[in-house]
Structure 1
Amino acid sequence: MRIAVHDVNKGKKGHALPTTSLEIETGHARFVLAETELRPTVLGLIATGRMRPDTGEVTIDGTRNDRDLRRRMALVDAPEVSDPHPGVTLAAVVGEELMFAGLPATPLHARRWLEQIGFAELAAQPIGTIKPSVRVRVMAELAVLRDDVEGFVLVSPDRHGGRPEGWWRIATEFAERGFAVLVIVGGSAAAVIERLPEALQTSYPSNATVPVRPLADVTGSTTVRDADPVPEPEPAPELEPVLEPEPEEHRVSSQAPAASSLNDHEEDDPVAEPDPVAEPVEAPAPEDTDTEDTETENGAAR
């Protein structure tokens, strides 16, 4: 499978996403630089066929087919779209994703699944307090449970803190298992990843760890050029993802409607213009979670 994102942008004057080109392919992990609060999620939505760009196109195996792209590529941990609410327990997140994968999804099944991957002791812990590398491992493993999924886009894992080497090597492990992986990161994480030994020992284009940034040359040159600075005199417009109609079930762990889950399916033909999507409703934190007293791993209050 090869996904080509060609000269896409979004928003007035590219404010939401400047012109960007990149490729994702089976058996490779690639990272791409996208910064500001909005752009990583916008790029993730476009790269997985869940949002139409204003210009450019996204193809899968040489053909534009958004429905097939959504079916085969999962969107993992995208802020305000597919990230779990921080107060929901890890077992609840697992149980919900088991259900969407068509697997038994009782609390017992969720705990057994966590035990299989080595994290049973974290079942009752809020996911917002889980180590970044563990969070990436669990979310990625859940994303590939569905039979049709052949890859995923992981959005801004560096926002959770931790060392980039940890979650980046998890991404490369999934590539070695035969998945296509794109990780959208900020500048600091990109600077660390591109200096890792595995990113230096092989050459472009066979090495998918070479960063591809907006306006990068993806034709075979090792030169990577940063996009020109884009002035932002006004806030970016609110964007509506291109999603299929919301199913009856609702995701209790997500901050967004159920229609934006990791790997949605669409019954209607692609390219049909969707109805407006309702504004996402932020799920309240559980009653037993004292947000003023909860501390993160480094001791800072959440």
Structure 2
Amino acid sequence: MLSVQQLHVKGRRDDLLPPTSLQAKRGDLLLVSGNRQDQRTALALTLTGRMKPSDGHISWDGRVKIKPLRLASGLVDSPGVNEPEQHLSVRDLVTEDLALIPRRYRGALLSKPWLKINRFEDIAELWTEQLPPERRTELLTALALANPYTDLLVIDSPDRHTADVADWLPRLEKLAYDGGRPLAVVATVAALPDNWTGPAAVIGNSIHHPRSAGSHAAEESRLETEDAK
């Protein structure tokens, strides 16, 4: 489990990441909303051990050292950090990303068989900028999971590519709820999708627990009763 308490990253003027608390368990998809792209990216980098926090606490499976967190986490499509370069073909991107996997975990991973096994042959010759948002999310998350030791997946702002949540949300839900490889999946977003009742948090605030439709209706009823008084 990923546990974060009042994680804070100072910037030159404004906070890169205002104090934020959250939890993400294996088998869950946590959406973290924030208006500013720089704050969403700072959170994604900090959650994966790529950026050192100024204050606060972060642990992965009870371990507070950064190295286990970094080894267990995969950062996906972070703007200005590891988003695919537009001049790359999908085939070249896959070759480069597979080469980054530590040799002892890599085995015989080659781009051509990997593309075939993972059913990306149809987009292999496209430029990365030509990828439809849904296929982009599928490809980049699959590449992050090519490392068998990735247990925490952090996707930075998948909604920046599309206004249709169907282009990214079902894929992330499928990964989180996969019983064969239970993952803790976190996605930073500009705004929570309508009707989202799963785990959610807000940058700069404490964790928000998921609400069922029944609890949502009960809360509305309570507010109506108070207004009537």
| CA deviation after TM superposition for structure 1 residue 219, in Å | 7.7
User: Residues 52 and 120 from structure 1, CA distance in 2 versus in 1: closer, same or farther, beyond 3 angstroms?
Assistant: same
Contact 1:26–1:180 (CA under 8 A) maintained in structure 2: yes
**Residue 147 of structure 1: aligned partner:** 148
Matched, 1:214 2:203: yes
| CA deviation after TM superposition for structure 1 residue 218, in Å | 3.1
User: Residues 103 and 159 from structure 1, CA distance in 2 versus in 1: closer, same or farther, beyond 3 angstroms?
Assistant: farther
Q: Distance in 1 between matches of 2:50 and 2:200?
A: 23
Q: Distance in 1 between matches of 2:162 and 2:209?
A: 33
Contact 1:76–1:82 (CA under 8 A) maintained in structure 2: yes
Q: For 2:19, give the aligned amino acid.
A: T
Query: SS at the partner of 2:30?
Result: strand
| CA deviation after TM superposition for structure 1 residue 143, in Å | 0.6
Query: SS at the partner of 1:31?
Result: strand
Contact 1:77–1:139 (CA under 8 A) maintained in structure 2: yes
Q: Distance in 1 between matches of 2:108 and 2:95?
A: 8
Q: Distance in 1 between matches of 2:65 and 2:125?
A: 40
**Residue 41 of structure 1: aligned partner:** 41
Count of residues in Structure 1 that have an aligned counterpart in Structure 2 = 204
Q: Distance in 2 between matches of 1:93 and 1:162?
A: 25
Q: Distance in 2 between matches of 1:219 and 1:127?
A: 35
Counterparts of residues 237-252 of structure 1 (less than 5 Å): none
Specify every segment of 5 or more residues in structure 1 that has no aligned partner in the other structure, as ranges: 200-208, 224-302
Matched, 1:182 2:171: no
| CA deviation after TM superposition for structure 1 residue 41, in Å | 1.2
Contact 1:98–1:142 (CA under 8 A) maintained in structure 2: yes
| CA deviation after TM superposition for structure 1 residue 111, in Å | 3.0
Structure-2-length-normalised TM-score: 0.81
| CA deviation after TM superposition for structure 1 residue 149, in Å | 1.1
Q: Distance in 2 between matches of 1:100 and 1:118?
A: 21
Contact 1:17–1:39 (CA under 8 A) maintained in structure 2: yes
User: Residues 21 and 135 from structure 1, CA distance in 2 versus in 1: closer, same or farther, beyond 3 angstroms?
Assistant: same
Counterparts of residues 104-123 of structure 1 (less than 5 Å): 104=108, 109-123=110-124
Identity %: 24
**Residue 61 of structure 1: aligned partner:** 61
The Cα offsets for residues 148-184 of structure 1, whole Å up to 9 and x where unpaired, read as 1112100011111251123111011111221110001
> Is the strand fraction higher in 1 or 2?
2
**Residue 76 of structure 2: aligned partner:** 76
**Residue 8 of structure 2: aligned partner:** 9
> Is the helix fraction higher in 1 or 2?
2
Q: Distance in 2 between matches of 1:220 and 1:39?
A: 21
User: Residues 83 and 21 from structure 1, CA distance in 2 versus in 1: closer, same or farther, beyond 3 angstroms?
Assistant: same
| CA deviation after TM superposition for structure 1 residue 103, in Å | 4.2
Q: Distance in 1 between matches of 2:50 and 2:97?
A: 19
**Residue 193 of structure 2: aligned partner:** 191
